[in-house]
Amino acid sequence: MPDRLVLDSSVIAALFFFHGSSSERADDAVAEKDLITLDLAIAEVGNVASKRVVHFKEDRELTDLALQRCIAFILEACDLIAARDLAKDAFRISVNDGIPFYDSLFLAASEREKAPLMTMDRRLCKKAKEKRDVRMI
């Protein structure tokens, strides 16, 4: 496993909001690595948190606490890249490969940093794997 990893939001969310094997796989994947993600990850994990309360009726206070821990992890454990700095490359990836722009931002970060992208998104992995270093956990 490489020493540096770009994490998409699905991996970060698994660390703080999911229980069981997906959370354990995420923990194992990021252990003792230099981690990179996008500022966009904060918005995406916030969306995960709100869905867990609204749609799955999870405890609001506990979910808010998990969100605050998740944001702290993003800000303290990860090197952050501004999405705006990757927009041109993400647009190219999105148009050329038919991948949603927000996912393409993470792929562009992976290219720029020359580090694999770790994801739990099967569709993204399947679509991007042929041309890029994308790994499922």
CATH number reported for the structural domain that contains residue 121 in this entry = 3.40.50.1010
Q: Residue 46: inside a domain, yes or no?
A: yes
The model carries a pTM of: 0.90
Q: What is the pLDDT of residue 1?
A: 57
Q: Residue 85: inside a domain, yes or no?
A: yes
Number of domains in the chain: 1
123 by Cβ neighbours in 10 Å (0-12 / 13-18 / 19+) ranks as exposed
Whether residue 115 contacts residue 36, with contact meaning beta carbons closer than 8 Å, is answered with yes
Q: Residue 135: inside a domain, yes or no?
A: no
Question: Taking residues 54-81, what's their average pLDDT?
Answer: 97
Q: Residue 136: inside a domain, yes or no?
A: no
Q: Residue 9: inside a domain, yes or no?
A: yes
Q: E strand or H helix at 74, and its extent?
A: helix 60-77
Q: Residue 113: inside a domain, yes or no?
A: yes
* Residue 13 in tokens: 């969310």
Residue 46 structural domain: 4-128
Q: What is the pLDDT of residue 129?
A: 81
The residue that leads in pLDDT, 126 or 107, is 107
103 by Cβ neighbours in 10 Å (0-12 / 13-18 / 19+) ranks as buried
Could you report the per-residue pLDDT of 20-46, keeping only the tens digit for each?
Answer: 776 677 778 788 789 999 999 999 999
Quote the strand ranges of the chain, DSSP E. 4-7, 34-38, 78-81, 117-119, 134-136
